[in-house]
Amino acid sequence: MFIEDTTPIAALTIADLKKLLKDSLREQKIEAIPPVTTPGKRYVYGLKGIQDLFGVCHLTAQRYKDGFLAPACIQNGRKIRSLLMPKWPWIFLRTISMRTLDEIDPIAAITAEIEKFQKMPDRIGIMSVQSANQWVDDALQEPDPKTYFYDLLVEGECTVLFASSNAGKSVLATQMAEAVARENTVLYLDCELSAKQFQMRYVEGKVSPIIHRFPDSLLRAEIRPDDIVDTNLEDAILDSVAAAAEYRGIRHIFVDNITFLLNDSEKGEAAGAFMKKILALKRKYGLTMVIVGHSPKRQPRTPMVQNDLAGSAKLMNFFDAGIAIGRSAKSSELRYVKQVKVRTGLNKYDGEKVLLFKLKQEQGYTQFIYEDTVSEADHLRQKNALTEAEDLQELIDLQAQNKTVREIAAETGFAPTTVHRKIKKALELGYKPSCSVPFHSGAEQLNN
């Protein structure tokens, strides 16, 4: 091929480029890389500087810093600076960062970069397209994500943790946050408890109190009431999360809970729009997020499933993983933890095997204490004559409080038709309300 100064570099083959470089170096008799003096140095600062320089996300910038840029990075505490040489061509940058100048072969460096460029995905509209094998090969170069707390949490994922009221979901979420904080800075946005309520969970005794101490890297945040007047709370919280990631470098965030953030969680369109904003933040900053959700009171005989998450059915679709907390029928202290959705790896705790914990305060620490790995079925309420009588009595008591069939169904977890049938059966058997609320019998409530 005839090559002249106007020949586009993209028109050259690797062999053409190799020959051209060799001929040029031979003719000019110059060194491959000019000596470097101190004035030629310049620095970019922090992971943000690496992000901007390479045009990559935070997680990729972190991998670059720990990988090929490691010899060129200087870190003092949390401050990072990367040494760059502005006179050298861009194509040498990654290789130069890895070695001393005497070791660099410019031809090999350029060849490697061109081969890497040729393997980059094709851009078709908003899509990046390449073979499935290439995606696998590229991903093999990245480290596997870390897991935390019995492998329930996966680095880089957005997980929802949910349970019914007073099941201990905030206690478990705080415990998970503490586990992650042993290796990372964690922000726990608490929209549920006051500072005093939080303190009482982690202090035992008054005369000589036993105080549980968290890692200093676990940060707890509350919403300032004065700042949420006449504001869009949902956007304000998401902006605050983005600011924590942008300016404080926090990459692990817990939010308790989603019902505080999303008033219209029952509406599919609103829930979808909100979760898209959450996922955009996750991808932009490489966040690991855990969001606490709620589950309506449910029938204690049925296994926990994805649909037990309160709100639109679309909500669960947006999460990478879902963790449910169930109450054990064997003891009021026991809770079991089940994975109802898994995107990374295998579902270790799928029902046949769940984690069993005891919820109690020990040494000033309200916590989930691991007991065993058990079957979910062993801790569900079994149907028998005794439990049937308890159900009938509970339904009659709720009816006596002037609650409609639909309200009773929402509170007990039974279907409305089941509530109607059981109340009718209870009345036929002569059940009376055990509470002091005046009893309202008759068909009016059964027909609601």
pLDDT tens per residue across span 245-293: 998 999 999 999 887 777 665 666 777 788 889 999 999 999 999 999 9
Q: Round to whole Å and give the CA distance between 177 and 368.
A: 13
pLDDT value at 162 more than 80:
yes
Mean pLDDT of the chain: 80
Encoding tokens for residue 204?
């035992």
**DSSP conformation class of 89:** -
Strand ranges (DSSP E) for 97-200? 122-124, 127-129, 147-148, 153-154, 158-163, 186-190
Q: Which residue has the higher pLDDT, 325 or 307?
A: 325
Tell me which H or E stretch contains 296.
none
Q: List Cβ neighbours of 446 (8 Å cut-off, separation of 6 or more).
A: 405, 420, 423, 424
Superfamily for the 147-379 domain: P-loop containing nucleotide triphosphate hydrolases (3.40.50.300)
pLDDT value at 244 more than 60:
yes
pLDDT value at 438 more than 60:
no
Q: Which stretch, 33-47, 303-317, 323-337, 401-415, has highest mean pLDDT?
A: 323-337
Question: 279, 158 in Cβ contact below 8 A?
Answer: yes
Question: 412, 386 in Cβ contact below 8 A?
Answer: no
pLDDT value at 45 more than 70:
yes
Q: What integer is the mean pLDDT of 71-98? A: 49
Q: What is the pTM of this model?
A: 0.66
pLDDT value at 161 more than 50:
yes
For the chain, percent of residues with pLDDT exceeding 90? 34
Q: What integer is the mean pLDDT of 377-393? A: 76
pLDDT value at 446 more than 50:
no
**pLDDT confidence tier of residue 409, bands split at 50, 70 and 90:** confident
pLDDT value at 36 more than 60:
no
Q: Which stretch, 95-104, 224-233, 363-372, 408-417, has highest mean pLDDT?
A: 363-372
Q: List Cβ neighbours of 67 (8 Å cut-off, separation of 6 or more).
A: none
pLDDT value at 59 more than 50:
yes
Q: What integer is the mean pLDDT of 292-308? A: 82
Q: Round to whole Å and give the CA distance between 306 and 219.
A: 30
Q: Which stretch, 12-16, 95-99, 269-273, 415-419, has highest mean pLDDT?
A: 415-419
Q: Round to whole Å and give the CA distance between 61 and 59.
A: 5
pLDDT value at 163 more than 50:
yes
Alpha carbon 163 to its chain's center: 17
Q: Are strands 127-129 and 321-327 parallel, antiparallel or unpaired?
A: unpaired
Q: Round to whole Å and give the CA distance between 21 and 132.
A: 34
Residue 101 CA neighbour count, 13 Å, CB half: 10
Q: Which residue has the higher pLDDT, 412 or 29?
A: 412
Q: What is the pLDDT of residue 138?
A: 85
Q: State the helix-helix crossing angle for 46-54 and 58-66, rounded to 10 degrees.
A: 100
Q: Which stretch, 34-38, 40-44, 360-364, 389-393, has highest mean pLDDT?
A: 360-364
Q: List Cβ neighbours of 316 (8 Å cut-off, separation of 6 or more).
A: 160, 306, 307, 309, 322, 341
Q: Name the residue type at position 408.
A: I
Residue length, the chain? Answer: 448
Q: Round to whole Å and give the CA distance between 83 and 12.
A: 32
Facing residues of 328 across strands?
A: none
Question: 323, 347 in Cβ contact below 8 A?
Answer: no
